[in-house]
C-alpha cells in the first residue's frame, strides 16, 4: 500500500510539472509533446498498478449489416424517384 501511495504522489508531482511545462511551452508542438509524455506516464502507472490500459470495442455485425442494407435500400429508392 505504501508503494501505491508513493507512486500516486510521484504521478501527481509529474502531472503538475508537465502542466507547468505545457503552459510555458513556446509552441503548440512542444506542448503536445509534453502532454503525450504525460499520457504515456499515466498509462505506465496504470499498468504497474495492474489496471487495464487498452480499450476494446465490439460491434454486433448482424445488426450493423442490416442497418447498412436498410440505408442502401433507402438511398437506392431516392435515386429511383423522379
pLDDT in tens, 18-43: 777 777 767 777 777 877 887 888 88
CA pair distance 15, 8, nearest whole angstrom? 10
For the record, the C-alpha cell of 67 comes out as 442497418
Tell me if the pTM is above 0.85.
Answer: no
What integer pLDDT is reported at residue 76 of this predicted model?
84
Amino acid at each position: 500500500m505504501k508503494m501505491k501511495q508513493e507512486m500516486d504522489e510521484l504521478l501527481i508531482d509529474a502531472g503538475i510539472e508537465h502542466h507547468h511545462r505545457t503552459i510555458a511551452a513556446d509552441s503548440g508542438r512542444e506542448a503536445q509533446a509534453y502532454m503525450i509524455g504525460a499520457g504515456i506516464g499515466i498509462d505506465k502507472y496504470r499498468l504497474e498498478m495492474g489496471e487495464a490500459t487498452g480499450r476494446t470495442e465490439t460491434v454486433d455485425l448482424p445488426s450493423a449489416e442490416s442497418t447498412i442494407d436498410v440505408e442502401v435500400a433507402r438511398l437506392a429508392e431516392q435515386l429511383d424517384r423522379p
